[in-house]
Structure 1
Amino acid sequence: MVVNKLKHKKRARTLRSCCVSAAFEHAHESESNANDSKKLWISLSKKLNAFYLFIRPHTILGTIVGITSVSLLPLESVADFSLTFLIGLIKALVPALLMNIYVVGLNQIFDVEIDKINKPNLPLASGEFSMSKGVLIVVACGILSFAIGWKSRSPPVLFALCISFLLGSVYSIDLPFLRWKRYAFLAASCILCVRAILVQIAFFLHMQRYVLGKPVVLTKSVLFATAFMCFFSVVIALFKDIPDIDGDRDFGIQSFTVRLGQERVFWLCIKLLLTAYLAAMFVGASSSNMYKKFVTVIGHGLLASVLWFNACSLDLKKKSSITSFYMLIWKLFYAEYFLIPFVQ
């Protein structure tokens, strides 16, 4: 009996020891798996964030808001807002966004040394993306943009893609007679042509003629949008170089900021936008619809006030402040597209 009890106790101790060992190994394995999952998630998050920075999200949002707003202008009744309209909008948006990525990505490829000074957080400049990865994304987006644009069977969309591709390429590529970004007037002209003219006219005609099947008529709203965005595109073209003066000067980029100085270019931008807002208020006041008149006049007045208030408090000696103000200009750019459909 005593021997059996001793054997039973020994087996119990052995069993407990095995259970403890198994539990420890299981806990260790679970912890290891958790650490692996955490590392995988951190790695994935970094890659997604790098891609997010690479595509320059403020320009992506500008393209989405701009094309969507302009596509609403040909609508004459609630019945026009249909599944056909939504499909037509997607057919325009997808290739345009891919071309947007091609243009901004190509610029980063050829600006990688400048960006190490001006924008060190960008993935090519920081080393988060290899050059081969950047080239792969740019080439893939360019090819996909044309492929999807061709499938849309819309001449205005294809025309917009071709001109955007051409101007985006000559703006950035460092070859003889190209790299137009080195020359202030040519650089501003590229941005104005795409953001002010192509986006408004091409995508308006795409929706009006090739989606809704209506006769071509350039309305007051699309003409206003084109004229107003000419001012805004020039301001964006000028202002984007203000925080980049150091790198541009070092690499021989003759921007207006390098030639005229930050303060003069800054106040030129403010005056141009205030002039545009004042003109927009007069256009809005001419509307026969009291509701639309109120929205356009008050709306542009508020945007002008936001611009002026922030301009007066800006410290031009701080690069971070200038960059924040540049992002404010993009927010005003988005806001304008919410007001444009009210101009009729």
Structure 2
Amino acid sequence: MKQDGTLLSDPSSYHSLVGALQYTSPLPNLILHFLLIGSISLCMPPNDIHFAIVKLILHYLEGSIDYGILVLFKPGPITYLSAYADADWIGDLFDSNSTSGCVIPLQVVSVKQLRSKSIICQQKKCFRCSSTRFSSLTDDSKNHESITTIRSHVITKKYQLGATYKHEYASKPEDDYSTSFLNVLSKQLEAFYLFSRPHTVIGTVIGIVSVSLLPVETVADLTPTFFMGLLKALVPSILMNIYIVGLNQLFDVEIDKVNKPDLPVASGAFSMSTGITIVTASLLMSFAMGIIFKSPPLFASLLVGFLLGSAYSIDLPFLRWKRNAVLAATCILIVRAVVVQLAYFLHTQNYVLGRPVMITKSLVFAAAFMCFFSAVIALFKDIPDVDGDKEFGIQSFSVRLGQERVFWLCVNMLTLAYGAAVVIGASSSFLPSKLVTILGHLALASSLLVQAQSVDLASKASVTSFYMFIWKLFYAEYFLIPFVR
């Protein structure tokens, strides 16, 4: 092309076009030809053959606009680019010109990799054109040193470029590293939040606080000793809660990929080893605190939770009780209705306040009402999970009886429990307690029936939303229980 073709009378438009095309570098084979043409043409006046090939490049661009790797930049400091390069002086076997190679990774993915040969022009300026290769890589390139060979040379030099947006901001290495660290930390915390099943943790916290208030007789009982005793009950119980729900996720990975694909282990946000580490650490810390605090009711509640939670999930002979609908419901009912009410009541009354054991009306009401509520939660939690349970042989009540029948059974059970609570509230001799108990339970029952009418049982999202609403009713009940006197 040096001798062929007619020189362009006005090469400015050509040079402008060639300059603009430099920003199409993520295209695979096109850039090889473009860099060759661009480098040669910049070393000599361009001709009509150069211009025709550039038009072919534009035609290629028009037909492949959706190909390649899309990188979206936002205003402000953005990704820090790292360029790795190597040079081999007069290394070309044919013309003794210098050759070199480079890799330009964007974060952990190498988006540009090429070899080039320097072309020395009469103007004593050096331009580089691609002589062999351009590639977009999708493999993991976190260790950039692992990309070692480009034309049999080891990359030895590294150059870093501060990428900018509209030339307004320039990133710094420390900014990029801190931003990357914060992003990773944020994602890990979010994954841990989902792994802990926060609605169960909230239920545990509210339940323990509510039951711990039942032995309180006067405001004078609310001393620092009381709150320290409450804290000693909360922390190990939350850790045991994380153990129970985490263990269930470790043994339900394949089921969760169908029923709850957003959970960390099922989605891959947490590896199996990470999940095992969290579960093991939570269990050990929970038991260690239970032993150190020397409260028999507290340690007993942790031990029962551990045994039933393990039997519910672990896939061993005579275990994996979640396969059986009755055993699964029994596990939840014992922990939520009996252990939480009795153990933490005795922990506060006897261990914290130092009073003799005495069963009160409010404790009996709490245990009886939560038997209904825990049974409802045990039944309802499987309604949105029918597909995965059927596939993996989990014989829940929803699988055996059908979603609609179980749904209305749960609603009717809660309605009956609220009715009984209103009657018990009416029997109270203390007027404020009577009003709060009656009006509060009537309001909760009304909201339950209204919400139930709007549920679409064919929609998993609608059923799941109502299930979370039931948990909110569960939280609300614990605010009413201390008023039952």
Q: Above 0.5 in TM-score?
A: yes
Structure showing greater Rg: 2
1:15 is aligned to none
Contact 2:376–2:410 (Cα < 8 Å) also in 1: yes
Equivalent residues in 2 for 1:274-289, closer than 5 Å: 274-289=415-430
Q: Structure 1, residues 2-38: CA drift from partner, whole Å, max 9, x if none?
A: xxxxxxxxxxxxxxxxxxxxx999x976444433333
Q: Give how far 1:39 is off.
A: 2.4
Which of 72, 87, 91 matches 2:228?
87
Distance 1:41 1:221, change over 3 A: same
Equivalent residues in 2 for 1:245-256, closer than 5 Å: 245-256=386-397
Which of 376, 395, 411 matches 1:235?
376
1:7 is aligned to none
Equivalent residues in 2 for 1:40-59, closer than 5 Å: 40-59=181-200
Contact 2:204–2:237 (Cα < 8 Å) also in 1: yes
SS at match of 1:176: coil
Which of 344, 354, 368 matches 1:203?
344
Which of 341, 357, 361 matches 1:216?
357
Equivalent residues in 2 for 1:75-224, closer than 5 Å: 75-224=216-365
1:62 is aligned to 203
Contact 2:300–2:343 (Cα < 8 Å) also in 1: yes
2:453 is aligned to 312
SS at match of 2:447: helix
Amino acid corresponding to residue 435 of structure 2 in structure 1: F
SS at match of 1:160: helix
Which of 316, 326, 331 matches 2:467?
326
SS at match of 2:204: helix
SS at match of 1:175: coil
Paired with 2:257 and 2:187, the residues of 1 have a C-alpha distance of 19
2:62 is aligned to none
2:14 is aligned to none
Paired with 2:481 and 2:433, the residues of 1 have a C-alpha distance of 10
Paired with 2:463 and 2:328, the residues of 1 have a C-alpha distance of 20
Paired with 2:177 and 2:216, the residues of 1 have a C-alpha distance of 53
Paired with 2:212 and 2:408, the residues of 1 have a C-alpha distance of 33
Q: Give how far 1:88 is off.
A: 0.5
SS at match of 1:217: coil
Which of 441, 450, 455 matches 1:300?
441
SS at match of 2:261: coil
Give the RMSD, CA atoms, in angstroms: 1.6
Amino acid corresponding to residue 235 of structure 2 in structure 1: V
Paired with 1:24 and 1:49, the residues of 2 have a C-alpha distance of 29
Paired with 1:285 and 1:156, the residues of 2 have a C-alpha distance of 32
Which of 178, 184, 187 matches 1:37?
178
SS at match of 1:316: coil
Tell me whether 1:272 sits opposite 2:413 in the alignment.
yes
Q: Give how far 1:132 is off.
A: 0.4
Paired with 1:41 and 1:175, the residues of 2 have a C-alpha distance of 40
Tell me whether 1:343 sits opposite 2:484 in the alignment.
yes
- Count residues in correspondence: 322
Q: Structure 1, residues 27-70: CA drift from partner, whole Å, max 9, x if none?
A: 97644443333322222111110000000000000000000000
Amino acid corresponding to residue 246 of structure 1 in structure 2: D
Paired with 2:306 and 2:176, the residues of 1 have a C-alpha distance of 44
Paired with 1:337 and 1:28, the residues of 2 have a C-alpha distance of 53
Greater percentage in helix: 1
Paired with 1:33 and 1:282, the residues of 2 have a C-alpha distance of 66
Paired with 1:112 and 1:137, the residues of 2 have a C-alpha distance of 16
Paired with 1:312 and 1:164, the residues of 2 have a C-alpha distance of 35
Q: Structure 1, residues 92-128: CA drift from partner, whole Å, max 9, x if none?
A: 1111110000000000000000000000000000000
Paired with 1:110 and 1:24, the residues of 2 have a C-alpha distance of 45
Greater percentage in strand: 2
Contact 2:163–2:171 (Cα < 8 Å) also in 1: no
